[in-house]
Amino acid sequence: MFLLHRPAFYNYNSSISTTNVTFAGKSTTYMPVIEISSLDYPGVEVFSTLTEAQLRRKLEPEKGIFIAESPKVIRVALDAGYEPLAFLCERRHIEGDAADILARCAGIPVYTGSRELLSRLTGYVLTRGVLCAMRRPMPRRVDEICRDAHRVAVIEGVTDTTNIGAIFRSAAALGMDAVLLTPDSCDPLNRRAVRVSMGSAFLIPWTWTEPSLAELRQLGFRTAAMALTDQSVPLDAPVLKQEPRLALIMGTEGDGLPQESIARADYVVRIPMQHGVDSLNVAAASAVAFWELRRPAD
């Protein structure tokens, strides 16, 4: 069962109560708080047992869900307009860390249980004890998010969730206008990727693209592939900074970009290294590159 039709939450016998939350001097009543004694409780599987693939619903994106963890990340998602579907938290958080969040989300069911029960969820304790199932947005078109962009990050085949989260955090902080990912990359709304990004995946436009980058070229972008080759130019080469529209392409953690992707690029770029170090982790390299090649000041 997916968290798509809220009436389904109330078809089961359980301990249900209505709670008032007071935040900033105002009292808000929201949907019943549902006390659970097992992670097998109907509706809770979205937090406990459904795989990332089941949550994503790739073939039916309009039914997709993702999980936001921690009050800070959930606030960022709400501020960005993402739709909450259900919460899971310890009761102490209802009038504690999550009070302002729940006050904003009248009508959203809240599952709660003992700390001992909820701690069985992988990573639950690390999230400060508040999870929110949210509706996944429909995929956007490349031309829609890049039409007015000047600096774009292209992620090709990066599958590590931590790296994806770190790249998005750097992209949002260091001046990228959008992020594009090839279909073989990790989903930015993966549960761990969202947590690592601290919600940055909600702050910067992103979508999926094919490795050919034909749509970017049609929009007037020049492309710069991060790779170690004999033709590589240093990251601080003036010609790169002078490009009005530049897409910076980064590849997998181990093998880097495929040769065909390097051959298609207008530039091949390297970060100059010292002490015999030949490369950086893709997340670290992205932060360096985003800062160096950020859009020139008008």
Q: List pLDDT tens digits, range 176-228.
A: 999 999 999 999 999 899 999 999 999 999 999 998 889 999 999 999 999 98
Classify domain 142-292 by CATH architecture.
3-Layer(aba) Sandwich (3.40)
pLDDT at residue 127, as a whole number: 65
Instruction: Give domain limits for the chain.
Output: 6-135, 142-292
- pLDDT tens-digit readout, 84-118: 999 999 888 888 888 999 988 988 999 998 888 88
Closest residue by Cα to residue 33 from 19, 23, 21:
19
Angle CA 53–58–63, to nearest 5: 95
Do the two domains 6-135 and 142-292 of this chain adopt the same fold? no
Q: For residue 5, what are its two tokens?
A: 């039709």
pLDDT at residue 1, as a whole number: 32
- pLDDT tens-digit readout, 31-45: 578 999 888 888 888
Global pTM reads 0.85
Name the CATH topology of 6-135: 60s Ribosomal Protein L30; Chain: A; (3.30.1330)
- How does strand 267-270 pair with strand 222-226? parallel
Contacts of 232 (CB under 8 A, 6+ apart): 268, 269, 270
CA–CA distances in Å: residue 39 to residues 53, 163, 256, 291? 20, 30, 41, 44
- pLDDT tens-digit readout, 236-294: 999 999 999 999 999 986 678 999 999 999 999 998 888 878 778 899 999 999 999 98
